[in-house]
Amino acid sequence: MKEASQVLDTPEDMSLENLEKRHIDKVLRRLDWNKSQASKALGISRATLRAKIKRYSIQAN
């Protein structure tokens, strides 16, 4: 049986925050940065989406 520390050790790119950032970025790009549609697709409010965009420094390229 694995020890708890082995189960919880994940690579940086697989952290929950990084996965969330990548998912939000992907949804925004797919929807041409339409924040209303993206927030609906993500199941969060527009205010929460704006906060996450700011928190994760997500930018349209």
**pLDDT by residue (tens digit) across 11-34?**
667 899 999 999 999 999 999 999
The 3-class secondary structure across the chain, one letter per residue, is CCCHHHHHCCCHHHCHHHHHHHHHHHHHHHCCCCHHHHHHHHCCCHHHHHHHHHHCCCCCC
What is the reported pLDDT for 22? 97
- The structure tokens listed for 31 are 């929807």
Predicted confidence band of residue 8 (pLDDT cuts 50, 70, 90): low
CATH top-level class of 15-55: mainly alpha
What is the reported pLDDT for 14? 84
What are the extents of the domains in the chain? 15-55
Please, what sign has the CA dihedral across residues 23, 49, 29, 40? positive
| pLDDT of 43 strictly over 60 | yes
| pLDDT of 60 strictly over 70 | yes
Place of tokens 């949804």: 27
